[in-house]
Amino acid sequence: MKYTVVWGNRAKNRLAAIWTEASDRGDVTRAANAIDQFLANNADWAGISRDDVTRVLVARPLFVVYEILPEDYIVRVLIVGRSDRL
């Protein structure tokens, strides 16, 4: 099943800040793109369950916390951060 991946404003702003501050911008860009693609195609089994609603996925150097809205075929990225700072 294919999902639409939507980044919440907080996550988008944090991703922009991470990218701006990064010495490895190419790696950050590739990780963000991989997260989008992976969640679009595999959201229902990707990552690790955090609670009944959210899951965590790591794509170095990033991690995301996301939720799945299966009835709408949407994955919403709620939080993003650097995985080396977990």
Cα separations (Å) of 46 from 18, 38, 76?
A: 23, 8, 13
Instruction: Give the start-end residues of each E strand in 10-83.
Output: 48-49, 54-59, 62-69, 74-82
Model pTM score: 0.92
Q: pLDDT tier at 85 (50, 70, 90 boundaries)?
A: confident
- Write the pLDDT tens digit of every residue in 9-65: 999 999 999 999 999 999 999 999 999 999 999 988 888 988 888 999 999 999 999
Residue 22 sits in a domain whose CATH number is 3.30.2310.20
Domain that holds residue 45: 4-85
**Beta bridge mates, 58:** 63
Predicted pLDDT of residue 84: 87
> How many structural domains comprise the chain?
1
Distance separating alpha carbons of residues 43 and 37, to the nearest angstrom: 10
What does the chain come to in residues? 86
Token digits of residue 14: 């944090």
Does the structure show a pLDDT above 80 at 86? no
